[in-house]
């Protein structure tokens, strides 16, 4: 149970150290497996013909901010992830420190294969190149753009909390959606309509010192509201499809991902 829900009590020192060591060991093993894959992709054929993208879907909380695992929250430990791209016609590497969104990977692949625009359901046509990471330049300033990440509490974890630790739900408001909105090194964490907290990631990368600035919170909130309005239009217009967990194809997909034995 404790691996899925917020911490009832902070980890003791030996518990935190053990978890940290276990996580380091897991990362080391994944690095080992990744190196084997990279060695395969390093052949002349793949260098000339294969676009390679490495990324992560999320990080892990190991007790930071009162959380364990990856089910809750939009703190940096969860949503700041690696992203590496190699394309055949690029011979020298570049590193970009600017913040980007993983949603841009979709447009990056389309751009590489020559797609210039895309008709999106219930939205205006999208200029693929304006969102493609292949168009980034070292001296280009993307920092004015707002980036948004969102998190919704997993229902299975909420059910566990309702049975075993109901006070945690109200204490940490984990049953409500959370959003992170970025601009430059500023970040706002919004817990539905309950709170808006600002962080300066340059001076406070561990997000331990939230501050208030009414004007900046209004700026971030406007960007978030625009995003939510567009997302709401898409949800209302989309066809609702029902999926049964008993469906064999879905069961096989869940087994492939390690969610079923």
- What is the tens place of the pLDDT at every residue in 130-172? 889 988 775 566 666 888 999 988 888 888 888 888 888 888 8
The model carries a pTM of 0.81
Check residue 171 and give its pLDDT. Answer: 85
Left if phi > 0, otherwise alpha if psi is -120 to 50, otherwise beta: which for 153? beta
Interval 12-46: pLDDT, tens:
999 999 999 999 999 999 999 999 999 999 998 99
Q: Where are the domains of the chain?
A: 13-100+136-239
Token match 């590193």: residue? Answer: 95
**Distance spanning both ends of the chain, measured CA to CA:** 18
- DSSP-derived secondary structure letter, 55: E
What gap in Å lies between CA 131 and CA 217, rounded to an integer? 25
Q: Report the share of the chain in percent with pLDDT over 90.
A: 44
Average pLDDT over residues 229-252: 67
């Amino acid at each position: 149970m404790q691996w899925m829900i917020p911490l009832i009590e902070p980890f003791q020192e030996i518990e935190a150290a053990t978890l940290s060591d276990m996580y380091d060991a897991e990362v080391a093993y994944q690095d080992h497996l990744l190196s084997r894959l990279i060695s395969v992709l390093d052949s002349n054929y793949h260098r000339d013909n294969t676009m390679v993208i490495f990324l992560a879907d999320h990080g892990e909380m190991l007790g930071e901010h009162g959380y364990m695992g990856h089910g809750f929250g939009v703190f940096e430990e969860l949503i700041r992830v690696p992203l590496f791209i190699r394309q055949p016609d690029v011979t020298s590497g570049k590193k970009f420190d600017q913040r980007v969104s993983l949603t841009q990977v979709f447009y990056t692949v389309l751009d590489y294969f020559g797609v210039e625009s895309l008709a999106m359901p219930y939205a205006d046509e999208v200029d693929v190149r304006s969102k493609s990471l292949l168009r980034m330049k070292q001296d280009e300033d993307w920092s004015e753009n707002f980036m948004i990440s969102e998190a919704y509490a997993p229902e299975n974890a909420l059910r566990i909390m309702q049975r075993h630790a109901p006070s945690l739900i109200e204490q940490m408001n984990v049953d409500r959606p959370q959003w992170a909105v970025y601009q430059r090194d500023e970040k706002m964490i919004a817990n539905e309509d309950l709170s808006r907290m600002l962080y300066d990631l340059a001076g406070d990368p561990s997000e331990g010192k939230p501050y208030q600035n009414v004007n900046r919170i209004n700026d971030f909130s406007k960007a978030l509201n625009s995003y939510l309005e567009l997302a709401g239009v898409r949800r209302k217009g989309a066809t609702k499809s029902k999926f049964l967990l008993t469906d064999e194809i879905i069961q096989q997909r869940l087994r492939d991902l390690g969610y079923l034995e």
